[in-house]
Amino acid sequence: MILEGPLDVLEHASRIPAYGGKMGIDATKKWATEGFTREWPDDVVMAPEIRKLVDERWKEYGF
């Protein structure tokens, strides 16, 4: 969903003060009771060696 209109005045990313766009994405798995009967893919899981590498480099990333 993409909406355009008034924004909070503290939103400094907009080109026009207090006006801009917002985007919302629903990335949740749906239930059959919601009308979605297809299978949903498994969650993406990071390989342990990549997770270890990222954990070791947090300071380098500036976090």
Q: What pLDDT shows up at residue 8?
A: 80
What band does 55 get if pLDDT is binned at 50, 70 and 90? very high
Within 10 angstroms of residue 19's Cβ, the number of other Cβ atoms is 13
Q: What pLDDT shows up at residue 46?
A: 93
Domain residue extents for the chain:
1-26
Using an 8 Å Cβ cutoff, are 8 and 18 in contact? yes
Within 10 angstroms of residue 11's Cβ, the number of other Cβ atoms is 13
pLDDT tens digit string along 4-51?
888 888 877 778 888 888 888 988 888 999 998 988 888 899 999 999
What band does 61 get if pLDDT is binned at 50, 70 and 90? confident
Rounded CA gap, 2 and 8, in Å?
Answer: 16
